[in-house]
Amino acid sequence: MAHAGVCSRRKAERYIREGRVSVDGQVVTELGTTVDPKKNKVFFDGKPVVLSDEYAYFMLNKPPGFLTTLSDPFGRPTIKDLIKDIERRVYPVGRLDKDSQGLLLLTNDGELSYRLLHPRFKVPKKYIVTVAGHPSAKVITRLEQGVKIGEGKVTQPCKIRPLGRRKREAVFEVILNEGRKRQIRYMFRAVGFKVTKLIRTEMGPLKLGDLPMGKWRRLDKSEVDALKKAAGF
């Protein structure tokens, strides 16, 4: 399912446990079940899972106000509204929350998606973060070393570099090797500061550059090769 671009490996495992996956008409709930895509028919929620003969890779400059999902039961704006002209069915690699913006990779290459997101492969993601107030150097060091967020989980070490400060806010460059849900916002909240703006500018060797907000473009071969190299292919 991950190779077919349906979802991440982690979600695929959850869907299998939930009984939403079938092979040749039989529901499968055991992880690690082996299938031959040339012989077996795999379905997810009653829809066929088909391996793509050709992977596609795109970059979107996501504006704030859009959910990083392809559908929303409440009718809120999603990134699907921005990528209607993409001819292939592709999926976002990781998430930017509704209020965040910047680089969002879209692909149907499930293995690459998995590697880019998993902390084991240490693919860095760079963000420009604006916070209300002026965190001290001691606070920044604490963030770099790791803080507890959500359910007592401790963030992995990261790099934070000050970029400037104004009267009531400060701007930082933050580089993570992991990407938990709303992680940067929770990190700064844990030390008493609120993130007011968050822009992802890089994912591994891929840079947002001057791509206009709300627009997308196809990655060229050199960019795809660089991403794969960074992900350990």
> Which are the catalytic amino acids?
97
Residue with the two structure tokens 């992977």? 55
Q: What does the CA dihedral 64, 70, 76, 79 come to, rounded to 10 degrees?
A: 30
The Cβ-side half-sphere exposure at 11, using a 13 Å CA radius, reads 14
The answer to whether residues 105 and 201 touch, using CB atoms and an 8 Å cutoff, is no
Collect all residues with Cβ–Cβ distance below 8 Å to 100 and sequence separation of at least 6: 62, 64, 198, 199, 200
User: How far does Cα 94 stand from its chain's mean position?
Assistant: 1
Q: What's the CA angle centered on 224, arms 52 and 15, to 5 degrees?
A: 45
Query: Would you mind telling me the total number of residues written for the chain in this entry?
Result: 233
